[in-house]
Chain A
């Protein structure tokens, strides 16, 4: 997996954030294009390529969710966009409330604020489970959690688009 290779790390769902940061700074000092401004064209291009990958890799691996998504994708797991069945009823009600608010019915507002807070709490609890499942190396569980998380994240975004702060 290219992003792990960039740090000389064995692919793993959980990793040490401080160690990752240390490796990032070390490799930045080594490969940043600033260090190659008077080098040959080929060396400059290599430095640019190395740092671009390093930066992309750091951005992905330091974030537990992006890291899990990348890891699963590389392992050949597909993530789905389907609504988790246990959320269907709630999503139906949420969409009604969103529609009412969009049409100018302000009475739906408290319901939406309440829904947003509930979804944010759900997301936070998923993040905790995600870390635990990652530590156990339970990829199926990680996938299920990521699907659920992705869906909930979109719901939160939708509500926040309608609710001005």
Chain B
């Protein structure tokens, strides 16, 4: 018997992946609609003592036993610099390697990982799960990102896909994906707001649904606001409690902190359904127990929920609609299970939000719908999304000159003329930033583009036309043309945060070897499962009367093989 999976015949489908802060999911579009494949994969990656990398539920168990070799919520680190994550580091047990200013490097065991590499392990796990279930090889995917992700965070997500051996055909914004799943089979028309409050990020998007077109009018959010923040608030209180009750501080013991974190999350989740819950933990022979009421919990989380309301108001204003014109509000993300969140949304939008969709699954389902649009299987739907942040360049005195405004429908472009300031100047450096503020220092640096090999001439004489293009993934590219010669001007890109193309290529090469390992490991596991079932079937068959009618040598042979 052969356990080889046949990858030859069927057309390989494009999968939709929700790469979440806490959990990830993969889905596929079928004739009957989008379907979730296998189960939820916790977004946790761990390095075993033997040096192997595992992702998912197994890795989450390692959080308790080997917190020093395990990383969770890595999405919060994507496309960021060390300066950005100082708050995180106070509570997350991450070991950041020295000298990783522009690209964070995490140390797990004796191995080092950039955030895209960690995410790639989660993606690879999803890819393998999907392949096992569908029996075909998966090479193309749509991956969702928070709508408010900037260019570097998007690029990092795309890099993660490439490292995992996936061609990322599209990055789609999570609230927009949710709207796709929501409005799929209903002939919905009108204005819909999607409130997406997940594990680590918050997004609000307002869309107009019209004749199969899902047109995003405006989006807003906070890529550093989610259920994690609520966990951390509760955790801090529990840690203080324990310090005073037990007389010593456990916050430096990462196994104890992870144990407590799990207890806190369990209490938080229960509080969405019951008026009171217990935070309970045993550690080093001691027991910690604290009752927490819904009332106290509400008081605790109110400031976190408040932080989502400002972006909602701004988004309504930018969309150019009034609250009364919004027909429906759709809730997405695990944190929208919290009754107080639902209450706050209902007050702001003056209508009861839709909670009938599973807030954990709707984004992955929408990603699968978008995959269906790309493959041509879904013909009548079209998504028109926007860029969440304005794009500008640095001008004299550290000021920002905006070229593409936030909430512009993408793809979007802008052209700008540049010239030289000094006689014989050969290079012009363009600093591109993203953000809404007037000063460069208050915006997010994206990259420096170096226009090179300009023909030497008198100052101010050069005419270089630079084109900034944001594609349908929300990712920027820059091209330049010397208008005097008509020739393409070479542009060297220096990203401010994240990996260069060469670094990603190197990681892909490395992962090819890994993919072989993964593949043989999977074959081994599947063979084992198959063998177990044959053994069980044989055992069962031996109970049958017919078994004893077999010739003795055949029975002996069966016994021998078992």
Contact = CB atoms under 8 A, between A and B. Distances in A.
A58 B410 CA distance: 12
A141 to B, nearest CB: 28
Interface string B197-231: 00000000000001101000000000000000000
B375 interface: yes
Given A48-B411, A52-B412, A33 B472 contact: yes
B472 A48 contact: yes
Given A28-B213, A29-B382, A48-B472, A55 B410 contact: yes
A34 interface: yes
Given A32-B382, A34-B373, A37-B374, A52 B411 contact: yes
Contacts of B382: 28-29, 32, 34
A59 interface: yes
B410 A48 contact: no
A100 B537 CA distance: 90
Contacts of B211: 25
A38 B376 contact: yes
Given A28-B384, A56-B412, A56-B413, A48 B169 contact: no
Query: A51, A52, A58 — which one has the most chain B CB atoms within 10 A of its CB?
Result: A52
B471 A59 contact: no
B383 interface: yes
Given A48-B469, A48-B472, A33 B373 contact: no
Contacts of A59: 408-409, 412
Contacts of A34: 170, 370, 373-374, 382-383, 472
Nearest to B471: A48
A25 B375 CA distance: 21
Nearest to B473: A33
Interface in A101-148: none
Nearest to B383: A34
Contacts of B370: 34
A51 B413 CA distance: 10
A53 interface: yes
Contacts of B373: 34
Interface residues of A, number: 16
B213 A25 contact: yes
A53 B415 CA distance: 11
A55 B408 contact: yes
B374 A55 contact: no
A120 to B, nearest CB: 16
Interface in B163-214: 169-170, 210-211, 213
Contacts of B374: 34, 37-38
Contacts of B414: 56
B516 to A, nearest CB: 28
A48 B410 CA distance: 10
Nearest to B376: A38
B553 to A, nearest CB: 58
Interface in A30-77: 32-34, 37-38, 48, 51-53, 55-56, 58-59
Nearest to A32: B382
A133 B53 CA distance: 69
Contacts of B409: 55, 58-59
Contacts of A58: 409
Nearest to B140: A37
A52 B413 contact: yes
Interface string B291-317: 000000000000000000000000000
Contacts of A32: 382, 384, 472
A51 to B, nearest CB: 5
A37 B412 contact: no
B185 to A, nearest CB: 19
Contacts of B408: 55, 59
Interface in B381-418: 382-384, 408-414
A33 to B, nearest CB: 5
A78 to B, nearest CB: 16
A58 B386 CA distance: 13
Given A28-B213, A33-B471, A53 B413 contact: yes
Contact of A52 (B169, B210, B469): B469
Nearest to A53: B413
B395 to A, nearest CB: 16
Given A48-B471, A52-B469, A55-B408, 10 more contacts: A25-B211, A28-B382, A28-B384, A32-B384, A34-B170, A51-B472, A52-B412, A52-B413, A55-B410, A59-B408
25 contacts: A25-B210, A25-B213, A28-B382, A28-B384, A29-B213, A32-B472, A33-B411, A34-B373, A34-B374, A34-B382, A34-B472, A37-B169, A37-B170, A37-B374, A38-B374, A48-B411, A51-B411, A51-B472, A52-B469, A53-B413, A55-B408, A55-B409, A56-B412, A56-B414, A59-B409
Give the 7 A-B residue pairs with the shortest CB-CB distance, closest first: A52-B411, A37-B374, A52-B413, A55-B409, A33-B472, A51-B411, A37-B169
